Structure 1
Amino acid sequence: MKRKLIAAIGIAGMMVSIAACGGDDGGSDTGADGFKGDTLTVWAMDGSTPPGWTKDLTAEFEKQTGATLKFETQQWDGIQQKITTALSEENPPDVIEVGNTQTPAYAATGGLADLSDLKSEIGTDWTEALNESSVFDGKQYAAPWYFANRVVIYNKKVWADAGITDTPKTRDEFFTDLKAIESKTDAEPLYLPGQNWYFFDGLTIGQGADLVKKDGDKYVSNLADPKVAAAMEIYKEYQSFSDAPKDKDEATPQQADVFAKGNVGAFIGMGWEAGTAIAANKAIEKDIGYFTIPGETADKPEGVFLGGSNFAVAAGSEKQELAKEFLKLALSDKFEGALAKENGVIPNKVSLESNLAANPAAVAAAPAAAFGGTTPLIPEWAAVENDPNPIKSYMTAVLNGKSPAEAAAQVEDEINKRLSQTS
């Protein structure tokens, strides 16, 4: 999960002050002298630990354990190699924030401690979709911390001009609304470039599709699967309402900057992107609204890619028990709820989503979290997404007229080559 997720929420004015939250207090019965004299080192990414949450958690942890809590802020740029190196050293940081899709790679090296006992103790009601990335080879190597996913960010004025009075609850209703904008206004109904790869990944999740499959003892591309093709056909229908280039992604140009001009009905993006639009055109702030990406039926939102972070304990840490005391407290209802409230991120259990009430983008994102997923949770996957991403090429080929099967055949050799690379 990128630093900008948190930073731009502030630009949009969507961050709210922290307040006391309900639920358990976490922690243990160890007592204030149980770990007296110890220091627990936690690596957390820039932007992940807001000041109110960090101050209160540190005070509570030190009161309960007698130990000192030391947060060391890390930057996303170059973090994978830095963590890999740290985990191989004799004195690694004790607790590490790791990107959810990066977790399997660290677990595969043997660098993370098995937290299965912690899961049994405090994680029985973690949202299953959010916990999946913390599990590798059937063992719990991390704990789900916070998440975010895409929503529909729309221009209320454009929708009103088209005579639309409510937000859609199904995919077909969404298409109907986009057709109304197309026929009744001069606005571009939806800004969707051809290579918004993470939205496409969400559609594959919604179709129950897997992007890889096992072939003997190795993974290979599953892009030719009819379920993947069905997801791509849905994407193609969405993209038919857009004038965006078919061979670019959402950052080229920044889709929020396009939306900021005021002549686009909607785009699909992260909640913080509204802040980018407002920074480009303050006048548009009053017209911005959000809704959950609708699925085939009203009772189940569209599948979404879940970006986020897990907490892991270094296998080489000599403070395993103290690290677990930290996780019990940091992931307790009190502090997990407080983080959701202060940073506007999706908490690791549904019962804590009420903490998002003051953040409309997060409220729109939360319903889809339970139906979300990630890219394939295998160490080999990282190479597939390296530029030039062959799946983006697949998407453009389909949008330019090739069948999904033909487009898949063009890129699967490259995907398989990357999947066979050793990490």
Structure 2
Amino acid sequence: MRSWSKALVGGFAVALAVAGCAGSGSGNDSAGQTSAPSGPRTLTVWLMNGSAPTTLTDELHKEFQASHKDVTVKYEIQQWNGIQDKLTTALASNDAPDVIEIGNTQAPKFASENVLEDLTASTGDFNGANWLSSLKDSGSWDGKQYAIPFYAANREILYRKDLFEQAGITAPPTSREEWLAAIGKLKAKFGSDPDFQALYLPGQNWYTLLSFIWDEGGDIAKKDGTKFTASLDSAEAKAGLEFYKKLVEESGTKAPKDADEQTPEQAGIYGGGKVAMFVALPWELATAAKSDPTIKDKTGAFPIPSKTAGKTAPVFQGGSNLAVPANSKDKDLAKEYLKLISSDKYQAGFAKAGMIPGTSKDVSLLEADPINAAMAKASANGKAVPATPGWATIEAGQNPIKDLLTAYLTGAKSIDQATKDANDALNKAFSS
């Protein structure tokens, strides 16, 4: 789960011509109808390390096996490191697992290579009417649904309640203007300390940049069918970039302009006690508390504010999807498994565990925790990166949006040149 902000994808190392037999598993008869073989069967499920809580999966598998006679769930936890190559090999083989968890930036690549089962006709069985739109889109390709939403998370602003109070800030900001005003008050109160930072904001935190671009009405790329064309040179995208630069300059952040939020790990910087705010995922607070356990009680959260007062900015919604390999030998069982895990009962379980469930109706369960409540409030306005196989090479390599930020923030390039170069790099990746 914590690997969503990292590259989960890479090039395919196995020639997918091997997968020409995709869809020929024993779950289908010659007429294409689902048939359930008799006798003992094993359903192999691959979920990722750090995703579903063990207590939840234990209950899920017990219930599934109780309602499916002679079926055993073979549950295997996979590691994010190296999963791309492992999935590539497994999906092209005749011994594929039956249910897999994949990062939402992986789904279009696998779907376009015809190694995932088309689930379009079954979406109604999987709580499809309640799916979060950002996760639904990430699991679709060429008008068909190849993966269903599992769970997600989005960024929010974690802040020091005690420092806000001392600076005379009586409520969390609900607009960009109020956010900048809060930064001004924090600097006025604590600015004499040379180590103080009103906001820690690394130069390459491109997920945060996306919120500003989307809030302005811009986007990374425009879509035409299955084709995407980069649009970071639009007036709206440039306005989002300009606001990012304004935040960097006015906040007094000491974060490097040529590195992201993991270099150094921003939660550790916040835990040092000299930072009033940072844009983060909710669980980064636990990392910060390793440096100072008392910081948990001192920390609050609010959604990234919009330029429109009272609204939240759109947020990048990273997460995971569930899919059925085309070479699964037990597609009928796999779909029954997806039906159970996407049910209200288990989606509510994910929400109670602090994750945004794949279905929007249970998001309100996150509101019991003040840190998760901010994430829940913004989740309805979640968005995804372009659902194109070409995105695989972007995060796996040198992300052009990171390069854009560094070039513009350091003055190495003008905004026009920086956005043009980023567009060129993105378009090359989209067409690869």
1:228 and 1:377 map into 2 onto residues whose CA distance is 19
Query: 2:63 is matched with which residue: 46, 60, 63?
Result: 60
Distance 1:146 1:398, change over 3 A: same
Matches within 5 A, 1:198-213: 198-213=207-222
2:431 and 2:139 map into 1 onto residues whose CA distance is 23
C-alpha deviation, 1:113, in angstroms:
0.8
Alpha-carbon contact 1:35-1:322 (below 8 Å) kept: no
1:146 and 1:113 map into 2 onto residues whose CA distance is 20
**2:343 alignment partner in structure 1:** 332
Please tell me whether residue 79 in structure 1 is matched to residue 83 in structure 2: yes
**1:30 alignment partner in structure 2:** none
2:410 and 2:391 map into 1 onto residues whose CA distance is 26
Please tell me whether residue 400 in structure 1 is matched to residue 410 in structure 2: yes
**1:369 alignment partner in structure 2:** 379
- SS, match of residue 311 in structure 2: coil
Matches within 5 A, 1:378-389: 378-389=388-399
Distance 1:236 1:104, change over 3 A: same
Query: 1:43 is matched with which residue: 46, 71, 74?
Result: 46
**2:190 alignment partner in structure 1:** 185
Query: 1:352 is matched with which residue: 349, 362, 369?
Result: 362
Please tell me whether residue 418 in structure 1 is matched to residue 429 in structure 2: yes
Alpha-carbon contact 2:108-2:388 (below 8 Å) kept: yes
Distance 1:117 1:214, change over 3 A: closer
Percent identity between the two aligned chains: 42
Alpha-carbon contact 1:35-1:65 (below 8 Å) kept: no
Matches within 5 A, 1:7-26: none
What amino acid sits opposite 2:52 in the alignment? T
What amino acid sits opposite 2:359 in the alignment? K
Alpha-carbon contact 1:98-1:310 (below 8 Å) kept: yes
Query: 2:118 is matched with which residue: 111, 114, 120?
Result: 114
Please tell me whether residue 153 in structure 1 is matched to residue 158 in structure 2: yes
The unaligned stretches of length 5 or more in structure 1 are 6-32
- SS, match of residue 323 in structure 2: strand
C-alpha deviation, 1:286, in angstroms:
2.2
Question: Which stretch shows the higher mean deviation, 363-372 or 412-421?
Answer: 412-421
- SS, match of residue 307 in structure 1: strand
2:271 and 2:327 map into 1 onto residues whose CA distance is 49
Query: 1:104 is matched with which residue: 99, 108, 112?
Result: 108
C-alpha deviation, 1:417, in angstroms:
3.4
Alpha-carbon contact 2:156-2:374 (below 8 Å) kept: yes
1:279 and 1:125 map into 2 onto residues whose CA distance is 37
1:34 and 1:331 map into 2 onto residues whose CA distance is 24
Distance 1:349 1:366, change over 3 A: same
Matches within 5 A, 1:291-306: 291-306=302-317
**1:164 alignment partner in structure 2:** 169
The unaligned stretches of length 5 or more in structure 2 are 6-35
**2:33 alignment partner in structure 1:** none
What amino acid sits opposite 1:2 in the alignment? R
Distance 1:358 1:317, change over 3 A: same
Please tell me whether residue 319 in structure 1 is matched to residue 330 in structure 2: yes
The number of residue pairs the alignment matches comes to 393
- SS, match of residue 305 in structure 1: strand
Alpha-carbon contact 1:95-1:314 (below 8 Å) kept: yes
C-alpha deviation, 1:133, in angstroms:
0.7
Question: Which stretch shows the higher mean deviation, 212-221 or 381-390?
Answer: 212-221
Deviations 1:6-46 (A, max 9, x none): xxxxxxxxxxxxxxxxxxxxxxxxxxx99762211111001
What amino acid sits opposite 2:141 in the alignment? F
Question: Which stretch shows the higher mean deviation, 48-57 or 181-190?
Answer: 181-190
Question: Which stretch shows the higher mean deviation, 321-330 or 119-128?
Answer: 119-128
- SS, match of residue 326 in structure 2: coil
2:149 and 2:204 map into 1 onto residues whose CA distance is 29
Alpha-carbon contact 2:389-2:430 (below 8 Å) kept: no
Question: Which stretch shows the higher mean deviation, 168-177 or 106-115?
Answer: 168-177
2:189 and 2:150 map into 1 onto residues whose CA distance is 44
**2:276 alignment partner in structure 1:** 265
Deviations 1:152-206 (A, max 9, x none): 0101111111101111122221111111111222332100011111111232233
Alpha-carbon contact 1:152-1:268 (below 8 Å) kept: yes
C-alpha deviation, 1:120, in angstroms:
2.5
Deviations 1:389-411 (A, max 9, x none): 22212112222344421212344
**1:278 alignment partner in structure 2:** 289
What amino acid sits opposite 1:171 in the alignment? R
C-alpha deviation, 1:318, in angstroms:
2.2
**What RMSD, in angstroms, separates the aligned Cα atoms of the two structures?**
2.2
C-alpha deviation, 1:215, in angstroms:
8.8
